[in-house]
Amino acid sequence: MGTQSAGTDRALVALRNAAGDQAIFSLHGAQLLSWKPAGAGDQIYLSALSPPTPGKAARGGTPVCFPQFAERGPLPKHGFVRTARWELVAPVSSGAVAEARFQVDSGASAPRWDHAFCLVLVARLGPGWLELQLQAANTGRSGFDFTAALHTYLAVDVPTARLHGLQGCEYEDNLAALRREREPGAALAVTGEIDRVYLQVPPVLRLHDAAAERRVVQQGFTDAVVWNPGPAKAAQLGDMPPADWERMVCIEAAAVLPPVHLPPGKTWRGLQRLELPQLPQFDPAQVTQAGA
């Protein structure tokens, strides 16, 4: 367990728990790249055209967006920590729940963001679940505002995928000049490009497709972003195979509206937890015999 270096500027961190679940992170951005619960395939989408590279967020996994979500401010899109080198601050632990802690601080700041902070990402891998907790500490002498997201790309079969839990929530539609709408239906299907910030969402969303149901749980983050580039934008991105828009959907735990105000000396925490509830085990004793 621990850090595997692949070349001088790329480092991967592997977590494995006693049940055999596995997760892989890159120190570039402390970005989750893969989550394979024991006996299941990878639940995380990662573009084959976008390997972890210094200074660039991979297209997939979970980029950490901080201190700015998207282009809602003067900083680079989604802030600068997703492209920064993070450090592993403690040995990776294993056991029933494996844990790793990654850290980056204001040394990674763009010159335009003059605030002292320390960010920690705590990753915990349990049987059938993976939790990412973002801790943002203000280590300076004055308060600041930030927006943030854990920008998770879930691997799904988009044509059969439905997202439950957002009915009645208000959202800002990034494809319609941030117009406010309210989600009318119980099951949200992705039929093309979608880019919405849902406000004040419930703590549990459920995403199912023909293969499985996943639960996406969040705390601390008030909003959830649903993003898929659709076929036309996917073809323009250049870092994902165009047809892959049908293999992923981003469900992002986000703190966007309003921004978080963090006074000096305080720490904010937000988490996203991905769960793959166990499928009922096949029990031959329960099979009703024909004619019984």
Ligand X SMILES: O=P(O)(O)OC[C@H]1O[C@@H](O)[C@H](O)[C@@H](O)[C@@H]1O
Q: Can 151 be counted among the known catalytic residues? A: yes
Cβ proximity to ligand X, 248 vs 276, nearer residue:
248
Give min distance, CB of 86 to ligand X, in A.
18
Cβ proximity to ligand X, 38 vs 237, nearer residue:
237
Residue nearest to ligand X (CB): 227
Give min distance, CB of 149 to ligand X, in A.
6
Give min distance, CB of 84 to ligand X, in A.
15
Give min distance, CB of 77 to ligand X, in A.
5
Residues in contact with ligand X by the rule CB under 6 A = 70, 77-78, 151, 174, 195, 225, 227, 252
Cβ proximity to ligand X, 131 vs 252, nearer residue:
252
DSSP lists the bridge partners of residue 163 as: 188, 207
- The one catalytic residue among 151, 172, 183, 275: 151
Cβ proximity to ligand X, 125 vs 234, nearer residue:
234
Cβ proximity to ligand X, 117 vs 198, nearer residue:
198
DSSP lists the bridge partners of residue 187 as: 164
Give min distance, CB of 216 to ligand X, in A.
15
Q: Can 213 be counted among the known catalytic residues? A: no
Active site residues: 151, 252
